[in-house]
Amino acid sequence: MYYVGVDVGTGSVRASLVSQKGKIIASSVQETHTWRDIQDHRIFEQSTDDIWSKAGKAVKQCLEISGVAKENVKGVGFDATCSLAVTDLNGDPVVISKGEELGNPGERNIVLWADHRAEKEAEVINATDSVVLKYVGGKMSLEMEIPKILWLKNNMSAERFSNCQFFDLPDWLTYQATRDTSRSKCSLTCKCSYVPNSGWQKEFFEKIGLGDLVKREYAMIGGRRDEDVLCAGMPVGEGLSTKAAEELGLVEGTAVGSAIIDAYAGWLGTVAARYKEEDGTLSKEIPSLEESKHRLAAVAGTSTCHIVQSQEGIFVNGVWGPYKDPIISGWWMNEGGQSSTGQLLHFMLTTHKAYDELVDRGRKEGKDIFVVLDDVLEELRVDRGAESLVELTKDLHLYPDLHGLYSSHASIEGLLTTLVGNRSPIADPRMRGSIIGLELSSSITDLALKYHTTLLAVSLQTRHIIDTLNKAGHSITSIFMSGGQVKNRDLMRMFAEVCRGQSGSAKELQGVVLPDDGGAAVVLGAAMLGRLAFEVEKVKKAGKPFGKDEQAGKLWEIMVEMTPPGTIIRPKAGVKERKLFEAKYKIFLESIEIQKKWRQEMEDATR
C-alpha cells in the first residue's frame, strides 16, 4: 500500500509517492505562477486553477515514474502555505486583484501568505483588544487570513463580497479533492481567528467590520460546530470525487486526510524520528507521544518556523498560539519564527564586494563556496592563534533583523520579499539589523568572518526563541530540523552549540537532529495524513468507533513508523568556547535593549 503527499509551497507543488514504511518511492515538482504588481510591491497573487493543475501533473508523474498502480494508492494528504483562496459559492475562483475586476470570476484568486496589502486592516484588528489576539502572541500578523478578508470587504462591492467563500489554502485543497467544505483545526485556529474551546467570536467580527460573516453563521469561512472541525488526517467527506480522481490520476473514493499548514507538516514529518549518533549508532528507544513536548521542530529555508506542542495551552508573548488540536487531538501548539534566515545568509554573501572572488576561487579549486569559506576561516584561525572560530569573531557582532525589500535567488522564483523586523519573540516590526566591529576591509577574509558571524546571529536568535518558550512553561531539549538549511552543516553545528544553554540546566539542549532527507520532511508529513485517513476509514468500515481520542494515538503510531531515523549533532564545545557563546548571547540580548533605547531617544528628540 502507498500514500500520496502533496505539498504546495510558495513557488511550486511537490507530490511524493510514499510507502507504508515512509520510503519515498517517487517525487515530482511542478513550478507554479505568482503575479506581482509593479506599482505595489506588497502584492503577491496566485491561482487555485494553476496549483490544482500542477498537483495533477505531479501526482500522475509519480505514478508513471514508480510504475505503481493507482489502485494501490490508499490515501492522499495535502499541506500548503497559509494563503487565502477565494471562490464563489459554487467553488469557482474569484478575482482578488484590486481594481474593477475585484470580485469577478477570474484566475487570480489567491492572496499569497507573503502579500502585505492588509496592513491597515491588521492595525484595526490589533486595536480591538479582543480575546483572539491572546492566541496569536498578542498581535495579529497582516499575513493571516482575517486581515486579508477584511481588505477584500473594504475594497469589494457588497454584492460581490456576499457571493464569496474563503479558505486557508490547505482547506481549499481538500475541498477541491472532495467537494466537502469541512475545515481543519490547523487552518482555522492558526490563521482564521477560531478560538480554542469557544470557536468564532461574534463581537470581534462585528467590531472590525466583518459582521457579514456573523449574519451568514460563518458559512463564508467554514462555519461549523467545534466537533465538526477536523483534526489532522481525519477523513474528509467521501474521499476523492470522480472529477478530482481523474485530475489526479487516482481512484474515486480514495481517502483524503484533513490538511495542515506546510510548516506543521514539517513537524509531522520529523519529530517522531529515532536518531543515530554521528558514528552511526542508532538509538534503541522508540519515542513516545509524551516525548514530543521536548522536541522543537524547526522548518528552515528562506525563513524559519519553530513549532512545539504541549499538553496544556501555554501563552508566550511574541509567539503565536497556543493553538488547540492543530495536529494531535488534545494537544496544544505554539509557533515562533524568524523572518529571514537562509535569505539573510544569501544577502550577507552576495552583497559583499568579495563575493565574485569567492565564486571564482570555488570554481578554480573545484569546491563549493561554503567549503572555501571554511578553508579561509580555518587558515585565519591558525594564523591568529585562536582556539575556535567563535574566538576568531569575538569582536564582531551582528543583530539579524534586517528590514526592507529584498529580491534574491534564495527566495523561491526570486520573489521580491518584504522583511518586517522581528517576528518572534519580540514581535516588533520596527526592529532593524545592526553590525558592530567593522574593519576597513572588503577582502575574502572579511567576507568569511561576516559569514561566520551571520551563522552565529541566526543561532543566537533561535536560542532567544527557545529560551522564551522554556521560560513560559515549555521544556525543549532537542531541535528537529527540516528544510533547505539542513544542508549547511556549519549552521547545524552552530545551533547545537549556541542553543545548548547554561551548563547543568535542566533544559540544556541535548542536540540537533537532522532528517534523513531535509527536503522531503514536509511532503512526508502530508503523506502521513493520507495514511491516517485510510486507517480511520478501515476502522469505521469494521463497525468500530474512531474519534478524536483515538486520533492522537494512531497518528503518533503512524509518525513513528513512517519517519526515517535522523542524525543527531551533539554540542562538543569546551569550557572556554562555551563561555564565549554565553558572552555572545548576553551581547545579543543587550543589543535588543540598546536598539529600543536608542529608538526611543530619537523619537523623543523628533517629537
* List of E strands, 227-372: 255-256, 260-261, 275-276, 295-300, 304-310, 320-324, 332-338
Q: What is the pLDDT of residue 193?
A: 96
Cell (9 digits) for 597: 533605547
C-alpha span between 234 and 532 (Å, rounded):
7
Nearest Cα to Cα of residue 465 among 402, 401, 403: 401
Can you list the residues of the chain whose pLDDT is less than 70?
Answer: 226, 404-420, 502-507
342-475+581-606: CATH topology:
Methane Monooxygenase Hydroxylase; Chain G, domain 1 (1.20.58)
Strands (E) located in 474-536 = 478-482, 511-514
H helices within 192-261, ranges in order?
Answer: 202-208, 211-215, 242-248
Q: Could you give the dihedral angle defined by the CA atoms of residues 372, 375, 381 and 383, in that order, rounded to the nearest 10 degrees?
A: -110
For the chain, give me the number of helices (H) and strands (E)?
20, 23
Q: Contact at 8 Å (CB) between 230 and 236?
A: yes
Q: Name which of 366, 365, 384, 300 is nearest 336 in CA terms.
A: 300
Q: Between 3.30.420.40, 3.90.245.10, 3.40.50.300, 3.40.50.2000, what CATH number should domain 2-262 receive? A: 3.30.420.40
- Residue whose cell numbers read 592563534: 385
Query: Tell me: the pLDDT tens digits for 485-498?
Result: 999 999 999 999 99
What is the per-residue DSSP string for 141-206?
-TTSHHHHHHHHHHHS-HHHHTTEEEEEHHHHHHHHHH-----BHHHHHHHS--BTTTB--HHHHH
Paired with 120 in beta bridges are none
Return the domain boundaries, the chain. Answer: 2-262, 342-475+581-606
Residue of 520, 509, 552 lying closest to 295 (CA atoms): 509
For residue 408, what is the enclosing H or E element? none
pLDDT digits (tens, 9 = 90+) for 436-462: 999 999 999 999 999 999 999 999 999
Model pLDDT, residue 416: 46
Please state, in angstroms and rounded to a whole number, the distance separating the CA atoms of residues 171 and 190.
12
- What's the pLDDT score for residue 502? 60
Measured between its terminal Cα atoms, the distance across the chain in Å is 68
Q: What is the pLDDT of residue 387?
A: 96
Q: How many residues does the chain have?
A: 607
